[in-house]
């Protein structure tokens, strides 16, 4: 076994999850590369020191450049706001250090393109934090589709709906300001990445979006909401399939309503992240009178499950997705081979976000080749 020093930028919701994953991945997967938590960076020196002590990092800083330049930091995880992603990633690549960046890849399509170009030119391992496609059930869905068990895909219905801003009295914050943090900018990239993985490239789309709560309370009274609360996208895939995608942060009752139904010529699949340890499978060739969706509970026979638990149906959790992601990042670093999802995959999701914005604002179908 060999150790590799990690630096993590950000200690919030995702930064903490990445720190826990780094400390767990070696024992869960018996990786030959073993991460050490070297440096944690947050926006202030005092805050960084406090969180570094809580999360088990050796050192801390309020300056991300110090983290990137630290010789003990051999790989970097970016879990800070998307407006910071580009500058940090480019500095890391210039230093020859692998980067795992949270989604969305950048705050704009220009950011995503620049980051992808820099990664390719540096020939350094890169990955984007699209963690939902790493559940054993989602990986199983990918295997079933690739094997041809459901035939040619003809239709996709997918959604990522939550309710964290359903309350109109919830105060304005960074999520209610700027395109990158609206529903299209924030939630849609996860599902765009998933349908690209499961179904294939999207050729064209038409989108509509809406601000449901036009203003929210702030320290100075009320502040206008400047980005979308919910959106719908109709799309056509390169393989001829059509899709219906929806996104919302005001869908009361949906806590993690990340779900998809994929219909093929031989069968269908259904998945819901709120029941992440189950995949529903319909086999069209079953005997008449015996057809119906079968609930497959994930177990040791399914991708990456056995490392966590030997009991079928006992299940994995959200944090385990980050442990699987950490394992994939370590394998990519050790082998030098690209592992899904790379910055290129992050760029493709960003193209779809920008195309959706353009379609909404122009009120028409758009082709992805124009973005």
Q: What is the pLDDT of residue 179?
A: 81
Q: Which of 131, 162, 193 is the last residue of a domain?
A: 131
Question: Domain for residue 39, yes or no?
Answer: yes
Instruction: Assess whether 110 and 150 both reside in one domain.
Output: no
Q: What is the pLDDT of residue 3?
A: 98
Residues 6+ apart with CB under 8 A from 231: 183, 184, 188, 207, 208, 209, 210, 246, 247, 248, 356, 360
Distance between first and last Cα of the chain: 44
Residue percentage of the chain with pLDDT more than 70: 100
289 and 270 share one domain? yes
Domain for residue 323, yes or no? no
Q: In CATH, what number is assigned to the domain containing residue 177?
A: 3.30.360.10
Q: What is the pLDDT of residue 233?
A: 98
Decide if 106 contacts 86 (C-beta within 8 A): yes
The strand pair at 202-210 and 366-367 is best described as: antiparallel
Reduced to 3 states (helix: H, G, I; strand: E, B; else coil), residue 256 is coil
What are 231-252's pLDDT values in tens digits? 999 999 999 999 999 999 999 9
Q: Specify if 338 maps to a domain.
A: no
Predicted confidence at residue 297, as pLDDT, reads: 98
In this predicted structure, what is the pLDDT of residue 310? 96
Section 58-84 average pLDDT? 97
One domain for residues 24 and 53: yes
The average pLDDT across 87-115 equals 97
Q: CATH code at 114?
A: 3.40.50.720
Closest CA to 243 of 216, 205, 217: 205
What is the domain range of residue 95?
2-131
More confident of the two residues 247 and 180: 247
Measured CA to CA, the distance from residue 229 to residue 217 in angstroms comes to 16
pLDDT of residue 180: 82
Instruction: Indicate whether 84 and 144 sit together in one domain.
Output: no
Last residue of a domain, one of 96, 131, 166: 131
Is residue 178 over pLDDT 90? no
Does one domain contain both 157 and 277?
A: yes
The predicted model scores a pTM of 0.96
Domain-located, residue 123: yes
Position 339 in a domain: no
Residue 297 lies in a domain: yes
Q: What is the pLDDT of residues 188-219, one digit of tens each?
A: 999 999 999 999 999 999 999 999 999 999 99
Judgement on whether residues 183 and 105 belong to the same structural domain of the protein: no
Over 90: is that where the pLDDT of 368 sits? yes
Domain count, the chain: 2
- 337 in any annotated domain: no
Domain membership flag for residue 146: yes
What are the tens digits of pLDDT across the range 122-132?
Answer: 999 999 999 99
- The last residue of one of the domains, among 74, 107, 131, is 131
pLDDT of residue 102: 97
Structure confidence by residue, pLDDT tens digits, 112-156: 999 999 999 999 999 999 999 999 999 999 999 999 999 999 999
Q: What is the mean pLDDT of the chain?
A: 97
């Amino acid at each position: 076994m060999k150790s590799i020093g990690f630096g993590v930028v950000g200690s919030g919701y995702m930064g903490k999850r990445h720190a826990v994953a780094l400390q767990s991945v070696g024992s869960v997967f018996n990786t030959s590369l073993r991460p050490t938590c070297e440096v944690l960076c947050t926006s202030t020196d005092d805050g960084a020191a406090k969180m570094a002590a809580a999360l088990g990092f050796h050192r801390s800083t309020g300056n991300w450049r110090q983290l990137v330049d630290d010789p003990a930091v051999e790989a970097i995880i970016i879990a800070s706001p998307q407006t910071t992603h580009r500058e940090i990633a480019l500095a890391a690549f210039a230093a020859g250090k692998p980067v795992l960046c949270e989604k969305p890849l950048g705050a704009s399509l220009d950011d995503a393109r620049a980051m992808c170009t820099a990664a390719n030119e540096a020939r350094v391992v890169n990955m984007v934090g699209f963690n939902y496609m790493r559940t054993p059930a989602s990986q199983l869905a990918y295997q079933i589709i690739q094997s041809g068990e459901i035939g040619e895909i003809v239709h996709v219905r997918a959604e990522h709906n939550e309710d964290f801003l359903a309350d109109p009295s919830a105060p304005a914050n960074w999520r209610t300001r700027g395109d990158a943090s609206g529903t299209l900018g924030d939630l849609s990239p996860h599902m765009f990445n998933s349908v690209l993985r499961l179904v294939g490239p999207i050729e064209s789309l038409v989108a509509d979006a809406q601000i449901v709560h036009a203003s929210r309370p702030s320290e100075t009274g009320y502040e206008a909401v400047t980005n979308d609360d919910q959106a719908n996208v109709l799309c056509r895939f390169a393989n001829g399939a059509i899709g219906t995608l929806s996104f919302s942060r005001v869908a009361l009752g949906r806590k993690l309503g990340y779900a998809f139904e994929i219909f093929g010529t031989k069968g269908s699949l259904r998945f819901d992240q709120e029941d992440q340890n189950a995949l529903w499978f319909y086999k069209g060739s079953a005997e008449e009178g015996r057809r119906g969706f079968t609930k497959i509970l994930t177990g040791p026979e399914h991708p990456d499950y056995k490392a966590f638990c030997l009991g079928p149906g006992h299940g994995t959790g959200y944090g385990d997705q980050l442990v699987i992601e950490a394992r994939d990042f370590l394998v990519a670093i050790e082998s030098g081979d690209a592992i899904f999802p790379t910055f290129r995959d992050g760029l493709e999701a960003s193209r779809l976000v920008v195309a959706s914005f353009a379609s909404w604002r122009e009120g028409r179908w758009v082709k992805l080749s124009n973005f």
